[in-house]
Amino acid sequence: MTQRRTILSGSVFEEEIGYARAVVDGDRVHVSGTTGFDYATMTIPDGVVEQAEQCLRNIGAALAEAGCTLADVVRVRYLLPRREDFEPCWPVLRRHFGGIRPAATMQVCGLADPRMRIEIEVEARLPAPPDAGR
């Protein structure tokens, strides 16, 4: 039977809306759309590049709790209210994903809070245990 485990970040949104930052389901890790809020302070930077960096720190923390890293990401979705905000984020995204090349989609859409300039969602696979090949 597949083991399911939820990971919470402490974001007030998780409690208010009723979702988890991530769900581990077997060897898959599904990370919810993650914005640039610093969940400890519930503050968000103004700039899209800074928000992208914070999104990836938040996602990295959820993946670490699940038992993997950004290097294990196989799918990424970028959601932005403004198309022109995507290109300034490319260096940040390339630094984190350029070596692993996950499947990716960028979509222009409204986000829940007007301060949010980017939201990132990822799917990852847990690394195989060291003795899995025996």
pLDDT tens by residue, 69-107: 999 999 999 999 999 999 999 999 999 999 999 999 999
Angle formed at CA 57 by CA 40 and CA 109, multiple of 5 degrees: 95
Structural contact between residues 75 and 118, judged by C-beta atoms closer than 8 angstroms: no
Structural domains in the chain, sorted by start: 4-125 (3.30.1330.40)
DSSP lists the bridge partners of residue 108 as: 80
Name which of 100, 47, 56 is nearest 78 in CA terms. 56
Mind listing the pLDDT tens digit for each residue in 102-130?
A: 999 999 999 999 999 999 999 999 998 77
Q: What is the reported pTM? A: 0.92
